[in-house]
């Protein structure tokens, strides 16, 4: 009995520091198959916090537009499983349209605890790219009645380079120190500036129309002891409170 208790106490810390608090991280659990734009709500536990229309892609789709390997945004084999999500961002002469993904975590975050946030992304059929995707942890839901960019303090998820790969999945990550009781995770672009980067000219641009699209798969948020445990962490990564 004492031996069993000792083993249990030994494994509890491992479980605490390996549990992914994101429910349905790969968008596999679903209530239906996507057939048209903006059906992210078909993926269990995922919603749009504004009037944007994030897309849901799944192998079960009967058409070519919202399948995975081939679809209207260029297509990509899922990083794992049979599904992933998609986010559109564009700026047409200051007319913004920014999509976001939001989910409620399996449990609230603990004050002072470090957490590693990570995801796998792939650039869709587009001519522009970002250097990062933002992650926002909040106590309450983020809600907006328009599709303008949400300029809120966030944690940067990146890998130290522009996210330009359209053939492979790119692992991005960021480190977050919890204030306590955060229960909602929102992904998207929260930056204050114009982050669009022209992948053809390899430079920033003053074009009137800038647009990019990212596939997103396998989102993770796990407690870590230090920055060295954060997957695919950039050496220049800083803790943002």
Which of 12-26, 54-68, 177-191 has the weakest average pLDDT? 12-26
Residue (of 82, 86, 104) closest to 33 by Cα position: 82
With cut-offs at 50, 70 and 90, classify the pLDDT of residue 201.
confident
Domain ranges of the chain: 2-229
**pLDDT confidence of residue 140:** 97
Determine the Cα–Cα distance for residues 173 and 155; give it in Å rounded to an integer. Answer: 9
Query: Contact, 26 vs 80, CB < 8 A?
Result: yes
- Residue 236 predicted with pLDDT over 80: no
pLDDT of residue 132: 98
CA pair distance 158, 173, nearest whole angstrom: 5
What mean pLDDT, rounded, does the chain reach?
Answer: 90
Q: Are 154 and 174 in contact (CB under 8 A)?
A: no
CA distances from 228 to 92, 116, 233, 235 (A): 40, 10, 8, 10
Kindly tell me if the per-residue pLDDT of 43 is higher than 80: yes
SS3 9: helix
* Mean pLDDT (whole number) for 86-115: 95
| Percentage of residues of the chain with pLDDT beyond 90 | 81
Residues 161-186: tens digit of each pLDDT? 999 999 999 999 999 999 999 999 99
pLDDT of residue 208: 83
Identify the bridge partners of residue 98 per DSSP, sorted by sequence position.
89
SS3 (DSSP) at 99: coil
Least confident of 78-87, 115-124, 197-206: 197-206
Q: Residue 81 and residue 121: Cα distance in Å, rounded?
A: 15
Does the pLDDT at position 212 exceed 80? Answer: yes
3-7, 14-18, 39-43, 162-166: lowest mean pLDDT where?
Answer: 3-7
pLDDT recorded at residue 123: 98
At 163 the pLDDT is 98
- CATH of the structural domain 2-229, one choice from 2.60.40.650, 2.60.120.260, 3.30.360.10, 1.10.1270.20: 2.60.120.260
Residue 82 has pLDDT above 80, yes or no: yes
Which tokens is 189 given? 């672009």
Of the pLDDT bands very low, low, confident and very high (cuts 50, 70, 90), residue 221 is: very high
Helices vs. strands in the chain: H and E counts, helices first: 1, 13
Convert the pLDDT of each residue in 132-151 to its tens digit.
999 999 999 999 999 999 99
- Cβ pair 123, 105 in contact under 8 A: no
């Amino acid at each position: 009995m004492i031996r069993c208790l000792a083993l249990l106490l030994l494994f509890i810390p491992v479980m605490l520091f390996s549990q992914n608090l994101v429910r349905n991280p790969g968008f596999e659990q679903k209530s239906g198959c996507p057939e048209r734009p903006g059906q992210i709500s078909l993926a269990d536990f995922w919603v749009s916090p504004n009037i944007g229309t994030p897309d849901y892609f799944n192998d079960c789709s009967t058409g070519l537009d919202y399948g995975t390997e081939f679809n209207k945004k260029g297509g990509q084999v899922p990083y794992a499983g049979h599904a992933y999500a998609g986010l559109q961002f564009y700026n047409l002469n200051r007319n913004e349209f920014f999509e976001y993904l939001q989910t409620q975590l399996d449990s609230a975050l603990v004050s002072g605890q470090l957490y590693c946030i990570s995801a796998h992304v792939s650039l869709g059929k587009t001519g522009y790219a970002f250097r990062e995707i933002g992650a926002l942890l909040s106590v309450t839901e983020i809600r907006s009645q328009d599709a303008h960019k949400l300029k809120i303090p966030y944690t940067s998820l990146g890998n130290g380079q522009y996210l330009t790969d359209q053939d492979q999945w790119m692992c991005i990550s960021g480190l977050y120190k919890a204030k306590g009781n955060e229960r909602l995770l929102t992904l998207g672009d929260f930056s204050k500036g114009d982050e669009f980067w022209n992948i053809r000219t390899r430079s920033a641009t003053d074009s009137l129309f800038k647009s990019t699209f990212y596939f997103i798969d396998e989102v993770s948020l796990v407690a870590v002891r230090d920055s060295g445990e954060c997957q695919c962490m950039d050496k220049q990564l800083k803790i943002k409170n």
